[in-house]
Amino acid sequence: MQHLDYFQVFQNDKTIAEGVTLPSGQFALCWHGLCHSHGVFPSFERFKGMQAKRSGRIVKQVASSLTAEACSRTFYLQRNEDWSGISGTGLVAVGFEFDRLAMLHWLDQHGSTFWYENVAMVERVHGHEGRTQIARCDLRLDRTSQGSKAGIRDVSPAGCSLADLPE
């Protein structure tokens, strides 16, 4: 499992959106503000090119913050039993928990992307009575760590590695 590349969009030094690059190469984006919206662009390059035409607009790759529960914002669907016969077993989808929404991207040849109110809703829809589980790194602050990823240690039962974290 690896973390999705996370980007923030700034307008005159104020964060106005956040997004992630999907395994399919598409770019999922969640806008902030009163007119909150979300969507998927064909590619990050296309999105960045569109934003470059706007005065004062900057797109930067940054490390995503942890959730309120100190978890990684990137999560996966771990399907242990495929009761429908459609998606198979193993890691079948990757998701990202934005501030207001959760995005889920299927890791099949179609690469469909869906949006949910939160990760709990993803689990309710796709959990199939425990046959599918949310798997993510559970990263917590550790003041004794040293190095480029100081301040974070892996306490995940799912076995995510700190090597998965963006630099």
Amino acid letter, residue 10: F
Query: What pLDDT is recorded for position 160?
Result: 42
- Using CA atoms in the order 76, 95, 25, 99, what is the torsion angle rounded to 10 degrees? -150
pLDDT tens figures, 102-135: 999 999 888 899 999 999 999 999 887 778 888 8
**How far from 92 is each of 1, 79, 88, 119, CA to CA, in Å?**
11, 7, 7, 15
Task: Please give the helix or strand (H or E) that residue 30 lies within, else none.
Answer: strand 27-31
For the chain, the distance separating the N- and C-terminal CA atoms, rounded to the nearest angstrom, is 16
pLDDT tens figures, 1-48: 678 999 999 999 899 999 999 999 999 999 998 777 999 999 999 999
Write out the DSSP string of 101-112: -EEEEE-SSS--
Q: Which residue did the predictor score with more confidence, 137 or 48?
A: 48
Task: Please give the helix or strand (H or E) that residue 158 lies within, else none.
Answer: none
Query: What pLDDT is recorded for position 80?
Result: 83
Report pTM. Answer: 0.76
The fraction of the chain above a pLDDT of 90, given in percent, is 49
- Using CA atoms in the order 157, 73, 107, 30, what is the torsion angle rounded to 10 degrees? 170
In this structure, what token pair is assigned to residue 120? Answer: 């709990």
Query: What pLDDT is recorded for position 122?
Result: 92
- Rounded Cα distance, 9 and 15, in Å: 6
Neighbours of 151 (CB within 10 A): 13
Q: What value does the mean pLDDT take over residues 140-151?
A: 36
Does residue 164 carry a pLDDT above 80? no
Residues 6+ positions from 124 with CB-CB distance below 8 Å:
none
